[in-house]
Amino acid sequence: DGGITQSPKYLFRKEGQNVTLSCEQNLNHDAMYWYRQDPGQGLRLIYYSQIVNDFQKGDIAEGYSVSREKKESFPLTVTSAQKNPTAFYLCASSIGLINTEAFFGQGTRLTVV
């Protein structure tokens, strides 16, 4: 089955610790994205990558870092510099062609205590 896998589904971390969220896709998609969802805020773009070894900041990149060493993988690190890290994080991918939809993973709920 092709799809996007995010792991883990729930993650708890202590304040001040960095944490890395995993996102893997086997759809052979070129483009991958990380979004954050907060209550009443919709989905806000953190980082996106249109091709391997290249990525761009989204609207709320501060306190986050990413890498795109492989086409299938786009891990997101939430650093201690992120002031409000508790949120629902969504990874997505798309073929990377004009006018195509993005497919989303099931999300990771990160809670920082």
Q: Confirm if 48 and 56 have CB atoms less than 8 A apart.
A: yes
85 prior amide bond cis, ω within 30: no
103 in contact with another protein (CB under 8 A): yes
Of 102 and 112, which has the nearer Cβ to another protein?
A: 102
Query: According to CB under 8 A, which one of 19, 21, 24, 48 is a site residue for another protein?
Result: 48
Query: According to CB under 8 A, which one of 21, 102, 110, 112 is a site residue for another protein?
Result: 102
> What are the CA-CA distances from residue 28 to residues 56, 77, 90 (Å)?
20, 23, 18
Among the listed ranges 13-21, 29-37, 62-70, 77-85, the one in contact with another protein (CB under 8 A) is: 29-37
Q: How far is 71 from 50, CA to CA, in rounded Å?
A: 10
Shortest Cβ 34–another protein spacing (Å): 11
